[in-house]
A and B are shown apart, each in its own frame.
Chain A
Amino acid sequence: MIDVLLTMMAVVVFAMINQRNLFAVVVLGGIYSFLMATVLVALDAVDVAMTEASVGAGLSTVLLLGALYLTKGEEVTEVRRPLIALAVSIAVGAALVYGSLGLPAFSDPQAPIHTHVVPRYLNDSPKETGVPNVVTSVLASYRGFDTLGETTVVFTSGAGVIALLRRRRRSREESEK
């Protein structure tokens, strides 16, 4: 099941690389996110799948379409072939694949992630927090500081977008005066 989905994702990625029409690329990006969400459902990570479907396939597609409305719909073909960029991407990809060889086997019950704090969370979380969904109790209670940091990151990104887009509008008004 997951193999089929991952193969379809690879096909979508190659279609995105070859496609020059940016509208089609945005739609393919939405399809990619939905496939990713399906993979996460197959891995029983429903919370993450929900986030991927709503953010990746939903809102970011709308935002990219909004950005596309402000630009031209066709990708400009490169005059030179970007060989250095290709070499850097291949080198980083190879390093990541090499790093993944050291990871424990897929769904190995003896992997460190399953033996460190996970048993304590799974056993004690319903008693300690009264929340049956362990994802929620880890996110909001055991790892409350991390989630506070994440919320601050979301806030900062919003503040950054406001600062960038607003200043441009104001400077145009000033230049007209």
Chain B
Amino acid sequence: MRRDIVLRVIAKILIPFMLLFALYVQFHGDFGPGGGFQAGVIIAASIVFYAIIFGLPATRQLVPEWIVESMVASGVLIYAGVGLVGILLGGNYLDYFVLDHDPVHGEHRGIFWVEVGVAVTVSGVMLKIFYMFAGRRRDEDNG
């Protein structure tokens, strides 16, 4: 599909809006539907869309494998780290109200970082699984 100019142009127009929508779902999840999981999947889906149109090697240059692999682990670490910060500031594990002087603001801050962690891990795992499946035939041909 790499030669089809219509698909290439449409993809280049659509992908920025998909990523923007993912950010909207992520950061507006407190007020409307959505949250970390959905945003992570939409980010992964937009990059998978790019890979389908422009091919896997171009996508691996755009989003290198080491970034994806570190995303898989760092999301869980961000989430668990929010819990540890709660302990350091004098609360229990995953207590958010100690994160700020105002307990409500602390809750808001904790939820924000927890959702960031979920989004990072989910998009990393989805992309990694896609890379692994999509790259198999090519590796067999080379090896």
Point out residues on A near B: beta carbons under 8 Å: 46-47, 49-51, 54-55, 58-59, 62-63, 66-67, 69-70, 127-133, 135-137, 139-141, 144-145, 147-148, 151-152, 154-155, 157-159, 161-162, 165-166, 169, 172-173, 176
- Say whether B75 contacts A133, CB under 8 Å: no
A62-B48, A155-B73 in contact; A130/B104 too (CB < 8 A)? yes
Indicate the member of B118, B128, B133, B143 with the most A CB atoms within 10 Å.
Answer: B133
Contact A139 B35 (CB under 8 A): yes
Contact A59-B72, Cβ < 8 Å, known A133-B31, A145-B94, A158-B129: no
When the two chains form their complex, are residues B129 and A50 in contact, meaning their CB atoms are under 8 A apart? no
Q: Which residues of A contact B52 (CB under 8 A)?
A: 62
- Residues of B within 8 Å of A165, CB to CB, are 132-133, 136
In the complex, the number of residue pairs spanning A and B with C-beta atoms less than 8 Å apart equals: 140
Given A67, A140, A154, which contacts B114 in the complex, CB threshold below 8 Å?
A140
Query: Which residue of chain B lies nearest to A125 when distances are taken between CB atoms in the complex?
Result: B107
Known: A58-B45, A137-B111, A155-B73. A66 touches B134 (CB 8 A): yes
A3–B78 CA distance with the chains assembled, in angstroms = 43
Instruction: State whether B44 touches A136 (Cβ < 8 A).
Output: no
Contact B124 A158 (CB under 8 A): yes
Main secondary structure of the interface of B (DSSP, over half): helix
Give B residues with C-beta under 8 Å from A. Answer: 25, 29-38, 41-42, 44-45, 48, 52, 69, 72-73, 75-76, 79-80, 83, 94, 96, 103-105, 107-108, 110-111, 114-115, 117-118, 121-122, 124-126, 128-130, 132-134, 136-137, 139, 143
> Contacting A136 at CB < 8 Å: which of B35, B45, B104, B143?
B35
18 A-B Cβ contacts within 8 A? A54-B41, A58-B45, A70-B133, A128-B104, A130-B107, A140-B36, A140-B110, A140-B111, A144-B96, A145-B94, A147-B79, A148-B79, A151-B76, A155-B72, A158-B124, A159-B72, A173-B143, A176-B143
